[in-house]
Amino acid sequence: LELNLVPINQENQEFSGVLLVLQDVTAIRRLERMRSEFVANVSHELKTPIAAVKGFAETLLGGAVNDEETARSFLQIIYDESDRLNRLIGDILALSKIESKRIPLYFSPVDMDAFMTKTVTMMEAEAARKSIKLQLELEHGLYVEADEDRLRQIMMNVIANGINYTPEGGKVSVNIASIDEDHIRIQITDTGIGIPKKDLPRIFERFYRVDKARSRSSGGTGLGLSIVKHLVELHKGTIAVTSAVGVGSTFVIELPVLQQ
Ligand code: ADP
């Protein structure tokens, strides 16, 4: 609660009292706090790769450039960190556009069979690199009305996480089935490291990672799932997750078949 004292003046300008104004500012304060936390997070996330680029460039300039092997490994770090900066900025811009609904969505009927076969094929190389079996199970004849590019972004993000957080030789399976006449359910299940119970409610938050070092080393920005959640909601759908540490995780996305 915020208390304000407002002086009351009569027409003759003489002070004649005060008005006490009590206002519930919890919601406003919370929004302000979230906004400033986000700005602080963004600055921190951007500063880390910039510091690495600067530090390694300085060391090179200071003489390390003369040793070819060292120079190569430092340049590789500079390259990787610039790449990460690029991805980070791309994700931050995408998220801010999506959150302020400044992205147009182009809805059209999507044949899930053809669409998912193509999407899973696009992820196969990444899975093969870790000897992960990528499996698709689906009913034929399922359609949703969706923005195909955004739906692909949703699916690729969740499947890529499944691959990322699953050790070599594991499995990621995508299962699509109809729930009722109006909804379909997409389940992405992995046999990966899992997510501790206490972290589950937070993984859709911006920049939230269970293990920062692991996410960073696999190239994650910590923004993927918040982008996914917003995109699912723009399709009037829902996303949920269940997980067991050391066993694996299942992401469940439910989408309406038609946009109203
Ligand atoms: P990141 O870029 O770090 O992967 P995301 O927003 O995609 O960010 O995911 C947030 C966090 O949720 C990840 O850092 C990771 O800790 C956890 N996570 C997401 N997907 C999985 C998964 N399939 N298995 C285990 N942990 C996951």
Nearest ligand 1 atom to the CA of 209 is 14
Q: Which of 41, 202, 203 for mutating ligand 1's site (highest number of atoms within 8 Å of CB)?
A: 203
Q: Rounded to the nearest whole angstrom, what is the distance from the C-alpha of residue 209 to the centroid of ligand 1?
A: 6
The two beta strands, 143-147 and 107-111, are: antiparallel
Nearest ligand 1 atom to the CA of 215 is 3
pLDDT by residue for the chain (260 residues), tens only, comes to: 778 888 777 666 666 788 888 888 888 888 888 778 888 888 988 999 999 999 999 999 999 999 999 999 999 999 999 999 999 999 999 998 888 878 889 999 999 999 999 999 999 999 999 999 999 999 999 999 999 999 999 999 999 999 999 999 999 999 999 999 999 999 999 999 999 999 999 999 999 999 888 887 777 899 999 999 999 999 999 999 999 999 999 999 999 998 76
Helix (H) or strand (E) holding 19: strand 15-23
